[in-house]
Amino acid sequence: MRRVKIDKIVLSDRNAIEGSTLSVNEKELCAHLLEDRHLKSVSLEVAHPGESVRIIPIKDILEPRARLDEKQDSFIGVISDANYQAGVGTSVALDGVCVITSGSMVNFQEGLVDMSGPGAEFCLFSKKANLVLVMEPAEGITKPEHERAVRYAGIKAARYLGAIGRNASNYTERVYPVYTTEERLEKFPKLPKVVYVCQAIAEGLLHDNYIYGVNAQGCLPLLCGPTELMDGAVVSGNCAAPCHKHTTYHHQNNPIIEDLLDEDGRTLNLMGVIVAPVKTAFAEKERIGRQVFKITQMLGAEGAIISEDGGGNPEADLMFVDRLFEKAGIKTVLITDEYAGSDGASPGLADVTPEADAVVTNGNGNQRVTLPPMQKVIGVLDSVERITGGHAGGLHEDGSVDMEIAGIMGSTNELGIENLRTIAI
C-alpha cells in the first residue's frame, strides 16, 4: 500500500501533485462523470479542515485509490471486470483526501459533515481535504437508479484521483504479506487462530453493499484475505443511518483489519476475513450465520471478532453467530453501537444473548447535539430535517441545528474508527 500524503485540494485545469497539494482538472472530471445519462449535472466543491462549512446530505465517502499497474483497476468488479485478484500487487492511496457524494437526497438516511465546531469532533472526515461531488439526477429516474448513479460517480472520481498519485515521488509504503492457509499453519503453528467477521448490510430498499460488484443480497458469506478490502473489494451502496453505516472509506480503512494485521504473526494468526451479508428474513439470517460458522470451523479458528453493520435488525445476526461460536468454544468479541435514548437509559440493542459477554460499543446514536450555523453549506441544508437524527423544526432560522449524532457521518461507526470511546462505569 503506497500512501501519498495530501492536505490541500485545488480545482484547476490540470491534474498534478505538488508537495502535499492536489490539483484536480475540474472540467475533465465533471465531463467524465456526466458520461452517465442518469446525471443531469455535476459540480465540484472543496472543503478543508477548520473551515466554516457544512456538507449535507451525504450518500457515501471514499478514499481515492488506484492500482499502480495501469492495466488494472481499483474497485475491482464494480465498474470494471472482476478479472484479477484484489489485495495483491501495489495500490496507491491519496492519504488525507476524501471523495464525498452529495446533492439531492436519494433516501432519508443520509448524513452531514461539519468541517469545524462541535460536529467536527464526532467525525474523522472533518480532518480530511474533501472533494464534494454535488450531483443532480436526470428527470424521471427511480431512486435505485439515482443511488446507482451517485455510487458509480463516487467510485469513478476516487479512481480518477487515485491515478494522479501513480507518479508521485513522495510517498510512504507498507507491505502486507499475503499467505496461503497452508503457509499460515506452517509459519505460525503455535499462535491462536483468529477470524474477523465483517457484516455488510444487504437488506434491499437502498440498504446494500457490493462485493466485487455483486449486490450482497445475492451473496453467501465470502472468505477474503485482509488486504482485499483495502483494495475496494467491498463498496457501499448503503443509505442506512449515517452514524453507523460503513461507507466505502470505512471498508477501505477498516481499523479492525489494520490492528489485526499489526498483531498477525506476533500474538495471533489471522486466518481470514469473512464478509457476511445481513438480510431481513430470519431464514436468511440462519443460512448465512451457519455458513459463517462453517467457514470459521473449517479454518480451525479459536477466536473471532464480529463487527455489526447498521442497527436493530442486524443485531439478530450478531447474536445468532455469537451463540454458535461461543457454544463451540470460539471466544468471540462483538463490536456494535447503541440506540439507547437521548438519556442513554433505554436498552441499546434490539437483540441480546447470554453468550455475548464481550461487547464493545462505539456510542449512542440518540445522543443529542446542537450544531452552530456555518458560513457555507455545500448541498441542501433543509434536508437536515429529514435525515436520520434530524426532525421537523430542528433547523433554526440562523442555520443552527438541533439533532441526534445519528445524523453525523460515522459518529458511532461500528468499526471503531471514530472518536467516541467506551468507558466502563
- Residues annotated as part of the active site: 239
Distance CA 46, CA 35 (A): 22
Distance CA 392, CA 375 (A): 22
Other beta carbons less than 10 A from residue 216's beta carbon: 27
Rg (CA), the chain: 21
Q: Are strands 39-47 and 129-137 parallel, antiparallel or unpaired?
A: antiparallel
Cβ atoms of 243 and 112 within 8 Å: the answer is no
Other beta carbons less than 10 A from residue 420's beta carbon: 19
At residue 211, what are phi and psi to the nearest 5 degrees? -105, 115
Distance CA 81, CA 67 (A): 14
- Paired residues of 284 in beta bridges: none
- Paired residues of 11 in beta bridges: 24
Other beta carbons less than 10 A from residue 167's beta carbon: 10
> What angle is formed at CA 273 by the lines to CA 124 and CA 219, rounded to 5 degrees?
100
Q: Closest by alpha carbon to 292, among 229, 198, 369?
A: 198
Q: Please return the burial class of 278, using the count of CB atoms within 10 Å of its CB with bins 0-12, 13-18 and 19+.
A: buried
Cβ atoms of 225 and 217 within 8 Å: the answer is no
Q: How far is CA 125 from CA 285, 396, 406, in A?
A: 33, 24, 15
Q: Closest by alpha carbon to 221, among 300, 312, 286, 301?
A: 286
Other beta carbons less than 10 A from residue 354's beta carbon: 9
